[in-house]
Chains A and B, each alone.
Chain A
Amino acid sequence: MFKYIIRRLLQFIPLVLIVTMIVFLFAYLAPGDALSGEMLDPNIDPEVYEEQRAALGLNDPVYVQYWNWLKRAAVGDFGMSLNFKGRSVSDLIMQRFDNTLYLAMFSLVVTLVVSIPIGMYSARHKNSLLDYSGTTFAFLGLATPNFFAALLGIYVFSFGLGWLPTQGSVSSTGLSGLDEFLSRIHHLVLPGITLGLAGTASYMRYMRSEMLDVLGSDYIRTARAKGLGEKTVLYKHTLRNAIIPIVTLLGIEFGTLLGGAVITEAVFNYPGLGTLFLSSVQNRDYPVLMAINLIAAVSILIGNLLADISYAAIDPRIRLN
């Protein structure tokens, strides 16, 4: 197991390098100097302009630029934001990263907590009422645009019933400890659920079909033939096997969540990376854009890594090869 993790980590490095190269390439293509965030005034004297470019290293060969950028990026220096005057990109990102992380985690938890039991139940009780409702929900969940669900959620739960806040990540400043935690959770409910909606729907379907597959497999028949009780068959033998493919999907789901966060955060004015990303796109704040891309990609890589490791943890077959 340990060796496996080491091996995966080693495989991780070249991928991260490739990702940085792509981000670098994007930034290189983008107008201005998206790497340092220094916008040169093109109106100045051409000689001075050239000097400044040279000073910023913009005239170096691409690979030298990449290397320099990589060195800076490695220590979290992504240059300055074009839009937020005087703010460094890493500062902006640090400020919002945890919010998005909470949001993604919350919605992941909601997704799993809802989809796995329902998926299991649906498979056990095929064609039961809950199965049908689950399937219907899954279909609707996949067909409803994320933002629209969010709006309906605001309409019903915030303005209709007045249960949940619509904006922001916390109710007021100066909270701490449990109060702050509760306030944050309270603010996460709507965005978290809407963000996880599509995931929940598809996981439910996955879980159901995986369960069905596993329930029909030979080793479940063996387990029954051994005289094991229904509970053991279900929770010990079926669940663990059915969850294996779901776990591999989690790595991908993490990426979907980060992407979806752009929209969900926009609806709820949630101060996370998504809203930062969106405003950066709107303002062509390339340094921020690239840094978020890089962070997202690395997060997904880490997500995949974690998924792979948990995959290996529950599936002994993986460790061999």
Chain B
Amino acid sequence: VGCSSDDAGTKPNEGDGSGSGEPEAVEGGKVTLGMHSTPENQFNPIFYTSSYDANILNFTHESLMTQDEDFQYQPELAKDWEFSEDKREITFSLRDDVKWHDGEPFTADDVVFTYEMLADPGYVGAGGVRTTFVNKLQGYEEYAGGEADTFAGVEKVDDLTVKFVFGEPSVKALSEVNFSIIPKHVFEDVAIGDMPEHEGSIRAGEVIGTGPFKLTDMIENEQYVLEANKDYWKGAPKLDSVVWRVVDQSVAAGMLEQGELDFFPEMFPPDDAEDMEGKEGFEVFSQPKFGYQYLGMKVNYGPDEDLNDLANTDLWKPNPKLENKEFRQAIMHAIDRQSLIDGFLRGYGSIIDAPFPPASWAYNPDEINGLEYNLEKAKSLLEKNGYVDTNGDGYVEDPDGNELTLNLHYPLGNKVRERSAPVIVEQLKEAGIRIELKTPMETAPYFTWISEKNSDEELDLFLAGWSLGSGDPDPSTIHQGKGTMNYSRFYDEAQDKLLEEALDPEKAWDNLEYRTEKYTAWAQMFSDNAYATPLYIDDEIHVYTSRLKGIVFKPFSYSADSHEWYLTKQ
């Protein structure tokens, strides 16, 4: 697929047209990119976990399909595909001109191998987390459980044809199988347990993909050198190399100005972005991220011991403080979300009215209400439900007249989220709700804690974020009663039903309108039930030197056509 800024990016590279005349392109050249945390140095797509490793993998590995700015799937390693009648099978025909970085041809064997590995009985034990890409496929349970010798879910038809077989028809089928392919010839003799430590997963020069760049050198934790793959099937990249450097967010602006960095994608701090926008020689591009931040409420605790029975709502215990729906709504109305965006995000963000990214087709804000900031309404809801300040301390007591304090937990790591926590406390104070702000925890232990500390009454409110990736907007994982990330432990039959309906293959197949309708109805119920408040979507901010051209920004990716990137003279 020939890609130019015209047919791909929603927002074409602004540098293109500006200035007097087109600056002259230079041959080759090196582009230095900045990221602010160290990768974990795991460059095997089936094992990496950190998004910083993904920064590198994005240049080196490819999947069967790619998505356009409308999230529609477009061919990549697969030329095209077709569904079977019963919608349970997809057959991909692969390109024949793709070569791995080491010159080996890319074939159906690689695809099958990749998915077999994902379903391997030892995969989870070796630290793999990406079973969602295989667990809907036919025969997964048997294969992963070690009962079957072959994986029925993926099948090589011929050297350039692969067939995926689902257990049930799924409307999300394409997104559920679209995963980076790893080379069989490198890993076939490696036991799955040893794969994460294998050279091909960690060593520069040994990491083999099909992408436009190959990882040739690195100083771990500092620099990752990606050199052009001259044999790239879309054509040799225009740049000679792309170098990732790990730099602190706080000095990113300075380093760009110093010319030490050319491009700081996605994570450029919003505070500095304003400054950079005015600067000559730099381009700032921002768009909403593909995820959102929310304030969760622990509506139910439980299950006490056995996390296996997460979905067994009978084992749940209601959190008495948050049982009242209108009280929860009052909390929702008391939060001035726009002020968070204007303040902490410097406007680089937007509020959302439904738990979908605005760029997604599922997002239909006009139809949904009940999330607006309305202090009066919050107060009247409180009063109506008997939450009044009886002892004159400025805070409401619960209907029984007991003092009411909710505690709010939040994780460290995301500066804006950290800063918004105390503001939420204040805003709720305005409404008369007393919040006790708890000591923040580091991200990783925090999420373990909020999902596990279920029997403990010390958790009422929590801040969290949710990222959808570029996949299907289906929110089941976090919002369905049995969802693994349903930290709120909220369950409502009617609401859950809508989610199920939205995925009903009968009606939803290739019918985005139908799904939009269902999701809109669901979103309304979501906001009525008020067990979580979507706070804002922050923008991803990209800052790069004006000399760098050819970047295509999709709502979820900036590196899609990196082989087209080029530099111009000053």
Q: Do chains A and B touch in the complex (CB under 8 A)?
A: yes
- A binding-site residues for B, Cβ under 8 Å: 42-43, 83-88, 95-96, 154, 158-159, 162, 165-170, 172-174, 267, 269, 271, 275, 279, 281-284
Q: For B442, list chain A residues within 8 Å (CB).
A: 281-284
Which of A84, A86, A166, A284 interacts with B444 by CB under 8 Å?
A: A284
User: Is there an interface contact between B258 and A168, defined as CB atoms closer than 8 Å?
Assistant: no
A236 to B49, CA, bound (A): 61
A170 to B222, CA, bound (A): 9
Instruction: Please give 7 more A-B residue pairs, beta carbons under 8 A apart, in addition to A85-B127, A95-B221, A271-B246.
Output: A86-B126, A87-B40, A159-B257, A170-B219, A172-B223, A172-B225, A173-B217
User: Is there an interface contact between A167 and B255, defined as CB atoms closer than 8 Å?
Assistant: yes
User: Is there an interface contact between A87 and B444, defined as CB atoms closer than 8 Å?
Assistant: no
CB distance from A162 to the nearest CB of B (A): 6
Which of B40, B220, B444 interacts with A271 by CB under 8 Å?
A: B220
Q: Select from chain B the residue with minimum beta-carbon distance to A86.
A: B196
User: Is there an interface contact between B217 and A174, defined as CB atoms closer than 8 Å?
Assistant: yes
- B binding-site residues for A, Cβ under 8 Å: 38, 40-42, 47-49, 126-127, 195-197, 201-202, 217-223, 225, 243, 245-248, 251, 254-255, 257-258, 260, 306-308, 412-413, 442-445
Which of A85, A166, A267, A279 interacts with B49 by CB under 8 Å?
A: A85
Q: For A154, list chain B residues within 8 Å (CB).
A: 251, 254
User: Is there an interface contact between B40 and A83, defined as CB atoms closer than 8 Å?
Assistant: yes
A95 to B223, CA, bound (A): 14
Which of B196, B254, B257 interacts with A85 by CB under 8 Å?
A: B196
Which of A85, A168, A282 interacts with B245 by CB under 8 Å?
A: A168
CB distance from A33 to the nearest CB of B (A): 15
Most B CB contacts (10 A, CB to CB) among A85, A167, A168 go to A85
Q: Select from chain A the residue with minimum beta-carbon distance to B249.
A: A269
A-B contact pairs, 17 of them (CB 8 A): A43-B308, A83-B40, A84-B42, A85-B196, A86-B42, A86-B126, A168-B247, A173-B225, A267-B248, A269-B222, A269-B246, A269-B247, A271-B221, A271-B246, A282-B442, A284-B442, A284-B445
Which of A86, A96, A158, A159 interacts with B221 by CB under 8 Å?
A: A96
A168 to B220, CA, bound (A): 11
A43 to B445, CA, bound (A): 17
A293 to B444, CA, bound (A): 21
Known interface pairs A167-B248, A167-B255. Does A282 touch B412 (Cβ–Cβ under 8 Å)?
yes
Q: For A42, list chain B residues within 8 Å (CB).
A: 307
A42 to B454, CA, bound (A): 14
CB distance from A241 to the nearest CB of B (A): 44
A283 to B412, CA, bound (A): 11
User: Is there an interface contact between B127 and A165, defined as CB atoms closer than 8 Å?
Assistant: no
User: Is there an interface contact between B248 and A85, defined as CB atoms closer than 8 Å?
Assistant: no
Known interface pairs A84-B40, A85-B47, A269-B246. Does A166 touch B255 (Cβ–Cβ under 8 Å)?
yes
User: Is there an interface contact between B201 and A86, defined as CB atoms closer than 8 Å?
Assistant: yes
A208 to B41, CA, bound (A): 48
Q: For B308, list chain A residues within 8 Å (CB).
A: 43
Which of A162, A173, A271, A275 interacts with B258 by CB under 8 Å?
A: A162
Q: For A85, list chain B residues within 8 Å (CB).
A: 40, 42, 47-49, 127, 196
Q: For B225, list chain A residues within 8 Å (CB).
A: 172-174
Chain B interface, DSSP helix/strand/loop, else mixed? mixed
Q: For A269, list chain B residues within 8 Å (CB).
A: 222, 246-248
Known interface pairs A85-B40, A159-B257, A279-B38. Does A95 touch B251 (Cβ–Cβ under 8 Å)?
no
CB distance from B123 to the nearest CB of A (A): 12
Q: Select from chain B the residue with minimum beta-carbon distance to A172.
A: B223
CB distance from A186 to the nearest CB of B (A): 13
User: Is there an interface contact between B254 and A159, defined as CB atoms closer than 8 Å?
Assistant: yes
A86 to B197, CA, bound (A): 6
Q: For A166, list chain B residues within 8 Å (CB).
A: 247, 251, 254-255
Known interface pairs A85-B196, A86-B126, A173-B225. Does A165 touch B260 (Cβ–Cβ under 8 Å)?
yes
A267 to B247, CA, bound (A): 10
A84 to B246, CA, bound (A): 17
Q: For A165, list chain B residues within 8 Å (CB).
A: 260
User: Is there an interface contact between B127 and A167, defined as CB atoms closer than 8 Å?
Assistant: no
Q: Select from chain B the residue with minimum beta-carbon distance to A84.
A: B40
Q: For B38, list chain A residues within 8 Å (CB).
A: 271, 275, 279
User: Is there an interface contact between A43 and B127, defined as CB atoms closer than 8 Å?
Assistant: no
A35 to B246, CA, bound (A): 30
CB distance from B329 to the nearest CB of A (A): 34
Q: Select from chain B the residue with minimum beta-carbon distance to A175.
A: B219
Which of B197, B218, B443 interacts with A173 by CB under 8 Å?
A: B218
Most B CB contacts (10 A, CB to CB) among A168, A174, A281 go to A168
A-B pairs with lowest CB-CB distance, top 3: A86-B196, A271-B221, A173-B217
Q: For B307, list chain A residues within 8 Å (CB).
A: 42-43
User: Is there an interface contact between A168 and B47, defined as CB atoms closer than 8 Å?
Assistant: no
CB distance from A147 to the nearest CB of B (A): 11
Which of A84, A271, A275, A279 interacts with B219 by CB under 8 Å?
A: A271
CB distance from B514 to the nearest CB of A (A): 36
Q: For B201, list chain A residues within 8 Å (CB).
A: 86
Q: Select from chain B the residue with minimum beta-carbon distance to A91.
A: B197
Most B CB contacts (10 A, CB to CB) among A43, A167, A267 go to A167
Q: For A88, list chain B residues within 8 Å (CB).
A: 197
A153 to B567, CA, bound (A): 32
A55 to B293, CA, bound (A): 41
Q: Select from chain B the residue with minimum beta-carbon distance to A267.
A: B248
Q: For A162, list chain B residues within 8 Å (CB).
A: 258
Which of B126, B306, B444 interacts with A83 by CB under 8 Å?
A: B444
Most A CB contacts (10 A, CB to CB) among B38, B243, B251, B255 go to B251
A84 to B444, CA, bound (A): 13
Q: For B127, list chain A residues within 8 Å (CB).
A: 85-86
User: Is there an interface contact between B221 and A275, defined as CB atoms closer than 8 Å?
Assistant: yes
A95 to B251, CA, bound (A): 25
Most A CB contacts (10 A, CB to CB) among B42, B223, B246, B443 go to B223
CB distance from B163 to the nearest CB of A (A): 31
CB distance from A151 to the nearest CB of B (A): 8
Q: For A281, list chain B residues within 8 Å (CB).
A: 442
Which of A158, A159, A167, A283 interacts with B246 by CB under 8 Å?
A: A167
Known interface pairs A84-B41, A86-B42, A283-B444. Does A167 touch B223 (Cβ–Cβ under 8 Å)?
no
Q: For A83, list chain B residues within 8 Å (CB).
A: 40, 444
Q: For B195, list chain A residues within 8 Å (CB).
A: 86
A174 to B202, CA, bound (A): 18
Q: Select from chain A the residue with minimum beta-carbon distance to B257.
A: A159
Q: For B42, list chain A residues within 8 Å (CB).
A: 84-87
Q: For B219, list chain A residues within 8 Å (CB).
A: 168-170, 173, 271
